[in-house]
Chains A and B, each alone.
Chain A
Amino acid sequence: MNIYELTQEYEIYLRDESRSIGHAASISFPENEAEMREIIMQMNAGGTPVTIQGGRTGLAAGAVPYGGHVMNLSKMDQLLDVTAEDGRYSFTVRPGMVLANLRKIIAGRKIDPEKMRSGPDAALAFINDREYFFPTDPTETSATIGGIAACNASGARSYKFGAARNHITRIRMILADGRIADIRRGEVFASGRRLVLPLTDGSSISAEIPSYQMPACKNASGYYARHDMDAVDLLIGSDGTLGAISEIGIELLPLPAYIWGVSCFLQDEDRAVRLTNALRDGFRNLAAIEYFDKGALDILREQKRKNTAFSALPALKKEYSCCIYAEIQEEDESAALQTLLQIGKCLTACGGREEDTWVARSDTDRETQQFFRHAVPESVNMLIDERKKTDPSITKLAGDMAVPDEHLAEVMHMYRETLAAAGLQSAVWGHMGNNHLHVNILPRDSRDYSLGKQLIAGWAEKVTAMGGAVSAEHGVGKLKRDFLAIMYGSARIEEMAALKKAFDPKGIFGRGNLFAAEVMVPSAGREAVPAGERETEAAE
Chain B
Amino acid sequence: MKIVVCVKAVPSSTEVRFDPVSHTIIRDGKQAVINPFDAAALECALRIRETAGAHVTTLSMGIPDTVRILRDTVARGADEAVLLSDRAFAGSDTLATSYALACAVRKTGVPDLLICGKMAVDGDTAQIGPELAAALGIPAVTNVKEILSVGEDRIGVIRESDDGEQEVSVCLPALITVVKSIVDPRMPSIAGIRAAEAAAVSVWTAEEIGADPERTGLAGSATQVVRTFSPERKKECVYIEGSAVEQADRLRALVEELS
Taking Cβ atoms with an 8 Å cutoff, the residues of A that contact B are 31, 75, 108-109, 112-113, 124, 127-128, 130-131, 262, 312, 314, 337, 340-341, 343-344, 347, 353-365, 368-369
User: Smallest Cβ distance from B121 to chain A, in angstroms?
Assistant: 11
B34 interface residue (CB < 8 Å to A): yes
B39 touches A357 (CB 8 A): no
Task: Write the chain B residue with the least CB distance to A110.
Answer: B17
B194 interface residue (CB < 8 Å to A): yes
Query: Would A359 and B36 be within 8 Å (CB), given that A31-B243, A112-B20 are in contact?
Result: no
Set of chain B residues within 8 Å of A108, measured between Cβ atoms: 15, 17
Set of chain B residues within 8 Å of A347, measured between Cβ atoms: 190
CB-contact partner of A343 in B29, B34, B190, B244, under 8 A: B190
A365 touches B187 (CB 8 A): yes
Query: Would A344 and B33 be within 8 Å (CB), given that A127-B19, A128-B19, A314-B186 are in contact?
Result: no
Task: Write the chain B residue with the least CB distance to A107.
Answer: B28
A344 touches B243 (CB 8 A): no
B12 interface residue (CB < 8 Å to A): yes
A355 touches B26 (CB 8 A): no
Residue interface bits B29-63, CB-to-A below 8 A is 1, else 0 = 10001101001000000000000000000000000
Taking Cβ atoms with an 8 Å cutoff, the residues of B that contact A are 12-13, 15, 17, 19-21, 26, 28-29, 33-34, 36, 39, 72, 75, 184-194, 197, 243-244
Give the docked Cα–Cα distance between A31 and B242 (Å).
11
Query: Would A341 and B72 be within 8 Å (CB), given that A131-B28, A364-B36 are in contact?
Result: no
Query: Would A354 and B189 be within 8 Å (CB), given that A112-B20, A124-B21, A131-B28 are in contact?
Result: yes
Task: Write the chain B residue with the least CB distance to A368.
Answer: B187
Query: Would A355 and B187 be within 8 Å (CB), given that A128-B19, A344-B194, A364-B39 are in contact?
Result: no
A359 touches B19 (CB 8 A): no
A-B contact pairs, 25 of them (CB 8 A): A31-B243, A75-B244, A108-B17, A109-B17, A109-B26, A127-B20, A127-B26, A130-B29, A341-B190, A341-B194, A354-B189, A354-B190, A354-B191, A354-B194, A356-B189, A357-B191, A358-B188, A358-B189, A359-B189, A359-B190, A359-B192, A359-B193, A364-B36, A368-B187, A369-B187
Set of chain A residues within 8 Å of B187, measured between Cβ atoms: 314, 358-360, 365, 368-369
Give the docked Cα–Cα distance between A369 and B15 (Å).
22
Task: Write the chain B residue with the least CB distance to A352.
Answer: B190
Set of chain A residues within 8 Å of B186, measured between Cβ atoms: 314
Task: Write the chain B residue with the least CB distance to A261.
Answer: B187
User: Smallest Cβ distance from A526 to chain B, in angstroms?
Assistant: 38
Q: Which 4 A-B pairs give the minimum distances between C-beta atoms?
A: A354-B191, A344-B190, A358-B187, A354-B190
A314 touches B184 (CB 8 A): yes
- Give the interface centre of A113, A340, A354, A362 by most chain B CB atoms within 10 Å: A362
Set of chain B residues within 8 Å of A365, measured between Cβ atoms: 187
User: Smallest Cβ distance from B225 to chain A, in angstroms?
Assistant: 28
Give the docked Cα–Cα distance between A464 and B107 (Å).
70
CB-contact partner of A362 in B19, B34, B197, under 8 A: B34
Give the docked Cα–Cα distance between A127 and B22 (Å).
12
B184 touches A355 (CB 8 A): no
Set of chain B residues within 8 Å of A75, measured between Cβ atoms: 243-244
Set of chain B residues within 8 Å of A31, measured between Cβ atoms: 243
Set of chain A residues within 8 Å of B243, measured between Cβ atoms: 31, 75
User: Smallest Cβ distance from B2 to chain A, in angstroms?
Assistant: 25
User: Smallest Cβ distance from B86 to chain A, in angstroms?
Assistant: 25
Query: Would A363 and B193 be within 8 Å (CB), given that A124-B21, A312-B184 are in contact?
Result: no
Set of chain A residues within 8 Å of B13, measured between Cβ atoms: 363
User: Smallest Cβ distance from A151 to chain B, in angstroms?
Assistant: 26
User: Smallest Cβ distance from B95 to chain A, in angstroms?
Assistant: 30
Set of chain B residues within 8 Å of A362, measured between Cβ atoms: 12, 33-34, 72
A-B contact sample (18 more), CB < 8 A, given A341-B190, A361-B72, A362-B12: A113-B21, A130-B29, A314-B184, A314-B187, A340-B190, A344-B190, A344-B194, A354-B189, A355-B191, A355-B192, A359-B75, A359-B192, A359-B193, A362-B34, A362-B72, A364-B33, A364-B36, A368-B184
Give the docked Cα–Cα distance between A113 and B22 (Å).
13
Give the docked Cα–Cα distance between A360 and B33 (Å).
13
Task: Write the chain B residue with the least CB distance to A369.
Answer: B187
User: Smallest Cβ distance from B18 to chain A, in angstroms?
Assistant: 10
User: Smallest Cβ distance from B122 to chain A, in angstroms?
Assistant: 15
Give the docked Cα–Cα distance between A405 and B192 (Å).
33
Give the docked Cα–Cα distance between A337 and B191 (Å).
12
Give the docked Cα–Cα distance between A124 and B20 (Å).
9
B184 touches A128 (CB 8 A): no
Set of chain A residues within 8 Å of B188, measured between Cβ atoms: 358-359, 361
B21 touches A355 (CB 8 A): no
User: Smallest Cβ distance from A371 to chain B, in angstroms?
Assistant: 10
User: Smallest Cβ distance from B219 to chain A, in angstroms?
Assistant: 34
Set of chain A residues within 8 Å of B72, measured between Cβ atoms: 361-362
Task: Write the chain A residue with the least CB distance to B188.
Answer: A359
Set of chain B residues within 8 Å of A128, measured between Cβ atoms: 19, 26
CB-contact partner of A337 in B192, B197, B244, under 8 A: B197
Give the docked Cα–Cα distance between A40 and B209 (Å).
77
Set of chain B residues within 8 Å of A314, measured between Cβ atoms: 184, 186-187
Set of chain A residues within 8 Å of B192, measured between Cβ atoms: 355, 359
User: Smallest Cβ distance from A14 to chain B, in angstroms?
Assistant: 20
Give the docked Cα–Cα distance between A499 and B190 (Å).
52
Set of chain A residues within 8 Å of B19, measured between Cβ atoms: 127-128
Give the docked Cα–Cα distance between A343 and B243 (Å).
51
